[in-house]
Amino acid sequence: MPGRWFPCRGPGAGEGATVSESPEIGSEALCEALGLPEGEQLDLLQVAPTTVTLVRRRPEEEGLPVAPPALHAEVETFPLAFVLRAIHGSGQSGLLRFRYRDHRKSVWIRRGEVVFATSNQRVDRLGECLLRAGVIQLGMLREAERSFQVVGPGDRFGKVLVERGFLTPRELWNGVKYQVEEVVRSLFAYGSGTVSFWEGDIEPDNVVRLSLPTARLVEEGLQRSAELAKFLAVLRDPRVSLARVEGCSAELAGNERALADAIGAGRDFEDVCRVLDFDFASAARSIQLLRLVGAVKLMRLPEAGGLTEDESFALVDRDSLQERVSGLTKWINELASLVAQADGGWAGVLERLGRVLDDTTGRFPALLTGVELRPGASLDVDVLVSRGLKLPGQREDQLASALGELIAYLEFEVKDHPAIAAPDELLTRLRGSLPTP
């Protein structure tokens, strides 16, 4: 409120700065004087020689650590990839907070590796992440949300998904890991905002403690950011328009519902963002989800005039993907056959490879959830191709990474199996007869 001045009585105030009638930083009196909505609070972020930085906190948001952060910077100056790589390289522990407009994301780090992450954005919630990964369907998500409202906020949404029979406990565990990874990967799509890091053994307020490789998440996040930039270029093309699919809005909620309603029968992307005051990157992520559930489609204006749906938005055609998946699954079958022959049977290698498949599913749930090894270590090519076609970005690369985990493990077994003579020669012959994995 202009015209009112309060001597500081918060942490870091100098001697003599306190007077009895002055409010403390974060007090109700100061919040009221600044005209903050009821329930909002102020946290002290940074004390500098000439400035004190306070941040607004909504009732549902977590508070900041009491001590000032070791780092507080603009993302334009200190990109998040640089910050996370530095933390990882030095093996530090602590809490990283990112802020952009009303976006709040937190990452807990222990000895340089990610142990947990949270976001206040609906698109980053567990249900939406599982939906985007193809693990659950939209109807399942909405049914679970209705059940969750009945049991109340004291329970966990993941528990409801398991109780409703939509997930097994193992699938929920993989889903939580995937959600945390998605929150971290989403950070690299932001070109603006602030990042703060508090060093120390700061634990998240939950029972989940993961250990996720920070270096991998940074690389995947940068790749995801590049893919989102390509999708944004398509959305901002003046020849491209968005159109809502009739009858698909009833099950939507939050930003996705607002986007679908604003798009209506046809509207360009930038106009929708202006009307809703959405930033481009966040809106693009929500539109990816809307396309996945069939609620929104992209239309291209051809040279002759008139709108037609443009199927060229599919980055890889089915034939190319089918050929790639077939080649990768042949590698898995041939390598597993060598190990089974050396073992004297299939039981052992199928059990070991099944465990690797379970672990890999945690990284690639959209591709591998529910996929099982069949006799001869074969996989359902049609299922993998169908799921691969729904992936955003470089689909062939993602498929190769997922199935490559199985191939790498089997190559390891071939090289180290005591009953396999001259394994390098065997692998060389295979490379000469099979497509490059």
Q: Judge if 187 and 257 occupy the same domain.
A: no
Per the domain annotation, does 230 fall within a domain?
no
3-state secondary structure (DSSP) of residue 200 = coil
pLDDT at 396: 77
Q: What is the pLDDT of residues 221-275, one digit of tens each?
A: 998 898 888 889 889 988 888 988 887 766 777 788 889 889 987 889 999 999 9
Q: Are residues 309 and 327 in the same domain?
A: no
Residue 291 lies in a domain: yes
Distances from the Cα of 398 to the Cα of 240, 325, 384, 401, angstroms: 27, 11, 11, 5
293 — pLDDT class (breaks 50, 70, 90)? confident
- If one compares 114 and 386, the residue with the highest pLDDT of the two is 114
| Residue 50 counted as domain residue | yes
Q: What is the pLDDT of residues 311-339, one digit of tens each?
A: 444 443 577 788 888 989 999 999 999 99
Question: Which among 282, 313, 344 is the end of a domain?
Answer: 313
Buried b (16+ CB within 10 A) or exposed e, 24-49: bbbbeebbeeeebeeeebbbbbebee
* Claim to verify: residue 413 and residue 309 sit in the same structural domain: no
Helix axes 214-235, 280-292, angle to 10 degrees: 90
Q: Alpha helix (H) ranges present in 200-317?
A: 214-235, 254-263, 269-276, 280-292
Question: What beta strand segments (E) does 76-149 contain?
Answer: 94-100, 103-110, 113-119
* Residue 365 to residue 53: CA distance in whole angstroms: 41
Q: Is the pLDDT of residue 277 over 80?
A: yes
204 and 309 share a domain?
no
Domain region containing 289: 236-313
**Residue 8, number of CB atoms within 10 A of its CB:** 19
Residues 40 and 181 placed together within one structural domain of the fold: no
The reply to whether 78 and 217 lie within a common domain is yes
177, 368 contact by CB (below 8 A): no
Claim to verify: residue 181 and residue 78 sit in the same structural domain: yes
Q: What are the residues facing 297 on neighbouring strands? A: 243
Domain contains 226: no
Residue scoring higher pLDDT (35 or 407): 407
In a domain, 65, yes or no: no
Query: Is 208 inside any structural domain?
Result: yes
**What tokens appear for 220 in the block?**
């995947």
Question: What is the widest separation between alpha-carbon atoms in the chain?
Answer: 86
Q: Out of 221, 255, 271, pick the residue that ends a domain.
A: 221
Residue 160, Cβ neighbours under 10 Å: how many?
Answer: 21
**Same domain membership, residue 216 and residue 79:** yes
Is the predicted pLDDT of residue 48 greater than 70, yes or no?
A: no
Q: Is residue 231 part of a domain?
A: no
Nearest to 302 by CA among 240, 243, 234, 236: 240
Q: How far is CA 193 from CA 56, 104, 205, 408, 427, in A?
A: 15, 10, 24, 39, 50
Residue-level pLDDT at 307: 47
- Given this model, what pLDDT does residue 308 score? 47
Residue 331: count of CB within 10 angstroms of its CB: 21
284's CB contacts (< 8 A; 6+ apart) are 228, 231, 232, 235, 269
204 and 77 part of one domain: yes
Which structure tokens are listed for 291? 């396309």
Q: Residues 9, 40: one domain?
A: yes
Task: Please give the average per-residue pLDDT across 103-131, as a whole number.
Answer: 92
Residue 325 resides in a domain: yes
Q: Are residues 307 and 352 in the same domain?
A: no
Q: Are 97 and 190 spatial neighbours (Cβ–Cβ below 8 Å)?
A: no
Residue 81 has pLDDT above 70, yes or no: yes
Q: What is the pTM of this model?
A: 0.66
pLDDT of 53 reads 67
Total domains present in the chain: 4
| Other CB atoms within 10 Å distance of the CB of residue 21 | 8
Considering 253, 281, 313, which residue would you say is the last residue of a domain?
A: 313
Q: Are residues 135 and 118 in the same domain?
A: yes
Q: How sure is the predictor about 66, in pLDDT bands with cuts at 50, 70 and 90?
A: low
pLDDT the model gives residue 392: 64
